[in-house]
Structures are given as C-alpha cells and as structure tokens.
Amino acid sequence: MKILFAVWEIDPFFKFGGLGDVARAFPAALKDLGVDIRITIPFYKAVKLGRNRKKLLCRLRVEYAGRKEKVEIYEVAHPLNNVPVYFLKNKKYLDIVSAADTFAFFDKAVVDIVKNNSLDFQPDIIQCNDHHTGMIPLLVKENKLNIKTIMTIHNLAYQGFNSKEVLDKLGIEHTKSRLIRWEIKRRQINFLMEGIIHADAVTTVSPTYAQEIMTEEFGMGLEELLRGKEGRIFGILNGISADTRYKYHGKLNTCEFVQRKSEFKNNFGEHLKFFLEKKRKNKLLLQRKLGLRATSKLPLSCFIGRLDPAQKGLDILHKMIRKVIDSEDNQFVILGSGNIDWQKRFEWLYKFYPKYISCNFKFDEGLAHEIYEASDFILIPSKFEPCGLIQMLGMYFGTIPIAHRTGGLADSIKTYYNGFLFDRYSSVALRNTYERAVEIWKKDRKKFEEMVVNALNTDFSWDLRAKEYRELYEKLISGSI
C-alpha cells in the first residue's frame, strides 16, 4: 500500500501550526503499520533543513501559466522517523509562500510527478491536507490517473479563495464541470471546495467535527456540499506522538520533565506523589521565571494557541479572566501570537495584575512545554475546534483541560474523568466550569488526583488512529467506497 501525503508544512522543517505536528507524526505511525508512506512539500526558502542531508532525486519540467518551469525534487529522511520527505524546488513559485500560485503550482507539480513516474514511487492514494493541496483531486481526474484521492480537512475556516485565472494557468478548461462554471460566475475558485468535490473520500480530524461541518453553524458555507458527500466523509481523531521531542525540550527547560505513567507503570500511588511533587516544583520555577507570585496555593491555568478571535474563544476567555482575576486567587499564563487588538486587551489585564497573569505573545515551543509541565489547568474555550492537540498534550503532562464541547475537544475529554467540558459558548459557562474545577482542585484533592491519573492514562497515541486510516485506505483501494 503506497500513500503520498501532500502538505504545506511539516515539523521541524517548516512549521506553522497543528498541521505541521500532524505531518510529522501521522505518517510515522502508518509506516510502523507497514504502509509505504512518503511526504511531499514545497521547498520554500524558509525551510530549515539543519543537519539533515538532502539528495537530489531528479529534475523535471512542469507546465504552468503556459511555460515549462523547472522543478527539482530533493529527498530528505525525516530526522525523527525516517519517513522520506520530498521537497519540490522552484524559484519562481515555491520559494516564498504566496497563496494562489504557490499552491496551484505545487499541486500541479505533485500530479505531474506522479503522472511521469518521476519518483519511482507510484502511490495508490494521494492524501491531500487542507486547501493548499485542494487542486490535486481535480488534477488527478483531469489526467485520468488511476489513483484515489483523500481530502483531509484540518480546518474548514480556511478555504483558499483564488482568482479563476489559476484554472488557465493549470490548463483546466473552465467549462469542464458544472461546479467550476458556477464558480466562474463568482470569478473565484475555492481550493478546499474543489478538493472536497473531487476527492474520493473526505476526512476530518475528529468524529464530532465530521458531523458539525454538515450544519450551518460550522459548515462555513460548504455544509450543503458536504451533506451531499455523506457516506464518503470520515471523522478520525488526531493523535499526538509522545516522541523524543518532549524529552528534548524537557532537557533544555528550567522545568523538570514530568515523567509519564508509562515510566512508572506499577505502583502508581507512590509515583503519583513523586509526579505531583515535580509538578509543584515546576510551578514555582515557572512562576518565578514569568514574574508571577510564586506559590503553590493558587491554581495556575494556561492558554496556549494562535490568538485567533474567530476560532479560539478569546472573547469569553478574556471576560472570564477579567471577572475572576481581581480576587487575586487565580493565576493565568497566556502563550501565543496573532491578533494585535486581543494582545492589547490581555496586556491591559497584566498592567493591573502582573503577579496573576503572564502574557507571552510569541510562538515558543520550549516555553509551551514548560507551561504544560507546570500548570494545573489548560483552558481551551474555542468556538470551534476541528481536533485540537493541546488538550492531548496537556493531559500527556497531567494538566487538566477545561474546554468547550466542540469538535475534537468533545471527542477527547470526559467531564469529571480527565477534564471538564462546558456546553454553551459563553463566558458565564466557562467561568462556572472553571470555578467548579478549581473547587475540586482546592477541596477534593483525591478526586483531582484521580483525574490527573486518568488524564495521564488516556491513550492519544497515533497507533490507534493509524489503524483507522489504514482501513480507510484499504476500502478505497478495493473500491468499496
């Protein structure tokens, strides 16, 4: 079984968000199941290869915008799992990420490579990820290749609207498909929508999100189209890979790496004490590092993520913190960058309560891990969350999630078991749930510790998910989907 995984980002070479983590860990789990999976990505100037060797595999010409463009294919073995990564180099289109042309050209190049068998690797399936790779399924059809395609939606909010001229550049006739003609009227082409229409199967990164996107509330305008695809849409929860990366960060950090249950399988009672003691120390270290009041007496909650007001629930988070912070009985750490207005609003809270809130407006994975290792709770008030990896990472470090019941959050958190979910998207609901959680933290240590153990014991490894994907691949190849 041969799979080509096309994606626009991959950790550690070029990482932007959660998709970059998935691209690192997911193919590795499939490889362990015996699937021959390879990854392809543009070779942007910003790609950091570090000490990893690249090997030039071949050169080819890709026709785009009426010209034959030179493309070089470099192979690099992924440093953490040895999965082959094919970097496609072209100065004009792939050096810098510039929306339409970069991704249209990349998609064309991927399909041409397969068509010309330039890699000596003929995939049974091309798995496309998000709008960046949305033109691949149509191009596969246009070229009548005997290959199946999957469109994996990591976030329906980003659809990749591009000018219709892209179709000319790709050499696709406007009149070929009814839907294309319809889009022509709007003079725009929607890459993700094309991917959804033409792929043989669509997957989302959690079962709940697969249901949600068929509703008006979450469908971002594509709900009807998605409903029409029912039976071909599959929700498979993402995993995390508890690989060496976290240990690596652990070594660099001031916080000590809090060991996981796998490292103290037997006699957890004894080890739990040890674990909690480490967490207590980590909390003091982090409080000092960030200038917060150093004490074990106050609950420390964190928010880690892109500051994206449309998705991440910044409004209800800010309002909730504003309401509870003046008692000086709670502490918060914010880590993430994005929307400047929201940065200012959180910064304002810091001006009044510098010992109770720490704002870190940057992308810093090392610090993120320290925060996981030190916090009692992780707040995830997202309005929608296709999967979310931070609740799983939080639990991996024994940090209890408090989250909105949506998407992958609903599929990975159980209230009073390994976290807390609130139903209505409102600051009141968030606050009530937060206060309930803190009450348990303060007054019912036994229950809280039991929840920490459950969180540590919940299996979010990719192995389970990879099996589900392999089944899907098998069905697609055998033609039963």
- Contact residues toward ligand GLC (CB under 6 A) are 17-19, 22, 154-155, 205, 238, 385-389
- Closer residue to ligand GLC (CB): 136 or 410: 410
Instruction: Report the DSSP beta bridge partners of residue 141.
Output: none
Instruction: Report the DSSP beta bridge partners of residue 302.
Output: 333, 378
Torsion angles phi and psi, residue 245, rounded to 5: -55, -45
Torsion angles phi and psi, residue 202, rounded to 5: -120, 135
DSSP state of 418: T
Instruction: Supply the minimum distance, in Å, between the C-beta of residue 233 and ligand GLC.
Output: 16
Tokens standing for 12?
């550690």
Torsion angles phi and psi, residue 340, rounded to 5: -70, -40
Q: How many CB atoms sit inside 10 A of residue 345's CB?
A: 18
- Closer residue to ligand GLC (CB): 155 or 458: 155
Helix (H, G, I), strand (E, B) or coil at 81: coil
- Closer residue to ligand GLC (CB): 35 or 392: 392
Residues 254, 373: Cα–Cα separation, whole Å: 10
Do 292 and 358 touch, CB atoms closer than 8 A? Answer: yes
- Closer residue to ligand GLC (CB): 84 or 235: 235
Q: Which residue is nearest to ligand GLC (CB)?
A: 18
Residues 384, 365: Cα–Cα separation, whole Å: 23
Instruction: Supply the minimum distance, in Å, between the C-beta of residue 167 and ligand GLC.
Output: 27
Instruction: Supply the minimum distance, in Å, between the C-beta of residue 94 and ligand GLC.
Output: 22
Instruction: Supply the minimum distance, in Å, between the C-beta of residue 17 and ligand GLC.
Output: 5
Instruction: Supply the minimum distance, in Å, between the C-beta of residue 62 and ligand GLC.
Output: 28
Do 38 and 121 touch, CB atoms closer than 8 A? Answer: yes
Residues 303, 385: Cα–Cα separation, whole Å: 14
- Closer residue to ligand GLC (CB): 46 or 310: 310
Asked if the peptide bond before residue 12 counts as cis, ω within 30 degrees of 0, the response is yes
Instruction: Supply the minimum distance, in Å, between the C-beta of residue 153 and ligand GLC.
Output: 9
- Closer residue to ligand GLC (CB): 240 or 272: 240
Do 476 and 3 touch, CB atoms closer than 8 A? Answer: no
Instruction: Supply the minimum distance, in Å, between the C-beta of residue 214 and ligand GLC.
Output: 17
End-to-end CA gap in the chain: 16
- Closer residue to ligand GLC (CB): 246 or 441: 246
- Closer residue to ligand GLC (CB): 190 or 238: 238
Do 380 and 409 touch, CB atoms closer than 8 A? Answer: yes
- Closer residue to ligand GLC (CB): 114 or 205: 205
Instruction: Supply the minimum distance, in Å, between the C-beta of residue 155 and ligand GLC.
Output: 4
CA-CA-CA-CA torsion sign (337, 342, 421, 300) = positive
Instruction: Supply the minimum distance, in Å, between the C-beta of residue 205 and ligand GLC.
Output: 4
Closest CA to 189 of 174, 199, 204, 171: 174
Residues 11, 31: Cα–Cα separation, whole Å: 17
- Closer residue to ligand GLC (CB): 169 or 465: 465
Do 129 and 6 touch, CB atoms closer than 8 A? Answer: yes
Instruction: Supply the minimum distance, in Å, between the C-beta of residue 350 and ligand GLC.
Output: 26
b/e string for 260-283 if b means 16 or more Cβ within 10 A?
A: bbeeeeeeeeebbeebbebbebbb
Torsion angles phi and psi, residue 403, rounded to 5: -140, 160
Instruction: Supply the minimum distance, in Å, between the C-beta of residue 319 and ligand GLC.
Output: 22
- Closer residue to ligand GLC (CB): 330 or 382: 382
**Which residues lie closer than 8 Å to 452 by C-beta, 6 or more apart?**
272, 275, 276, 398, 400
Instruction: Supply the minimum distance, in Å, between the C-beta of residue 238 and ligand GLC.
Output: 5
- Closer residue to ligand GLC (CB): 388 or 398: 388
- Closer residue to ligand GLC (CB): 94 or 409: 409
DSSP state of 131: G
Residues 162, 190: Cα–Cα separation, whole Å: 6
Instruction: Supply the minimum distance, in Å, between the C-beta of residue 335 and ligand GLC.
Output: 16
Angle CA(64)–CA(160)–CA(236) in degrees, nearest 5? 115
